[in-house]
Amino acid sequence: MSTVTLLLVAGIVIAAWPTMVDAARSLPLANPWIMALLVPVQLASFAVTGEALFAYLRARGELRGMRPLTAMRMSLEFNFANHMLPSGGAAGITYASWKLAGMGVPPARGTLAQLARFAVTFVSFSIMLLAAATWLLASGQGTPAVLWSAAGVGALALGATGGGALLLRRRRPLHRVAGVVIRVANWGAHIIGRPAVVRTETVVRFFDGLHVELREILRDPRALRAPFAWSFLVHVCDAGLFWIALAAFGLRADPALVFVAYGLATVASMVVTTPNGVGAYEVVMIGLLVAGGLPSALTVAAITLARAILLVGTIVFGWAFYQHSVARGGRRAP
């Protein structure tokens, strides 16, 4: 998948080479003071993303003494794992579960907390997407490409949330999934000449824990109220980063258009296995913004520069925290 993505991106770059040259010439036009706002907004995004996860765990009686700065640091670490490991987001979930287990949170509860965060994030995202599409349609700015993209992404988000909840509610299908996980993991170990690495009882117990945790949520859904509220701020911060980047080049883009482009690019980054969707994310976002009426050269320059700044910031700062956590975890007694 990464190879196919690379070839597609290379083909797009070759086809749009004149636009790329114009974009490179446009980089000096960026206002550095406006572009500098990316740093505090990105830190705010890490903070609210962490709160969307930890608010649920606090409601379940975990991590009550965690400070906001600690939440922001852990969120930065999770994002670093996703940026460095091409896994479509699975690396961040796995790393977060390991980190939370070191804080006394059972693995099933830590994993379901992240799945619950994704679920409320998808629901709030669909609500904001509907509002954005309605505004674009009412104002006459919604092109067919933008509106159909919004409809498709919203339907996908709600479908993924509903399908995941339905799967976790039924124990027998969960056990089938556990069987698939075991066979795939042990087949991969056999390919590289290793003995079986996954035990059946361990995986089944983990999936049973997910099932029990979901039943607890459905019995008392009040634990999802705070994460749901935080998830709206997550979207505002993340989409706002690209609105700031466009504004730095003098483009006053409609926030609704930026939000739809951000949503479609986020979905692309979850499907493509390149680290954090690099390549596909930029192509999808730029394509939709240009389809919405923004000038191509300035849009390419703004989005490419913003993504470079955000990726470098996440990797540089996340690496230090990540290494510190791994070193401490390695010294921890089994």
Distance CA 46, CA 234 (A): 8
Distance CA 298, CA 252 (A): 12
Tens digits of per-residue pLDDT, 232-273? 998 899 899 999 999 988 888 889 888 888 888 887 777 666
Distance CA 132, CA 255 (A): 8
Helix axes 90-101, 107-139, angle to 10 degrees: 140
Residue 332 has pLDDT above 60, yes or no: no
Distance CA 248, CA 195 (A): 55
Residue 334 has pLDDT above 50, yes or no: no
H-run or E-run covering 223: none
Can you give the residue ranges of every domain in the chain?
A: 33-59+67-329
Tens digits of per-residue pLDDT, 275-302? 666 667 788 888 888 888 888 888 888 8
Tens digits of per-residue pLDDT, 53-82? 788 778 777 776 667 677 777 778 877 776
Helices marked H in the chain: 2-15, 17-26, 32-35, 38-59, 68-84, 90-101, 107-139, 144-169, 171-191, 200-219, 225-248, 255-271, 280-291, 296-331
Distance CA 252, CA 243 (A): 8
Which of 216, 212, 233 minimizes the C-alpha distance to 224? 216
Cα angle value 217/218/219 (rounded, 5°): 90
**pLDDT confidence tier of residue 309, bands split at 50, 70 and 90:** confident
Distance CA 105, CA 100 (A): 5
The reported pLDDT for the residue numbered 333 is 44
Q: Once rounded to an integer, what is the mean pLDDT over residues 2-23?
A: 65
Q: Would you say 169 and 214 are in contact if contact means Cβ atoms under 8 Å apart?
A: yes
Residue 131 has pLDDT above 90, yes or no: no
Q: What tokens were used for 118?
A: 């994704």
**pLDDT confidence tier of residue 274, bands split at 50, 70 and 90:** low
Running DSSP on this structure, what letter comes out for residue 275? G
Residues near 112 by beta carbon (within 8 Å), at least 6 away in sequence: 168, 209, 210, 213, 214, 217
The reported pLDDT for the residue numbered 331 is 52
Q: Would you say 302 and 249 are in contact if contact means Cβ atoms under 8 Å apart?
A: yes
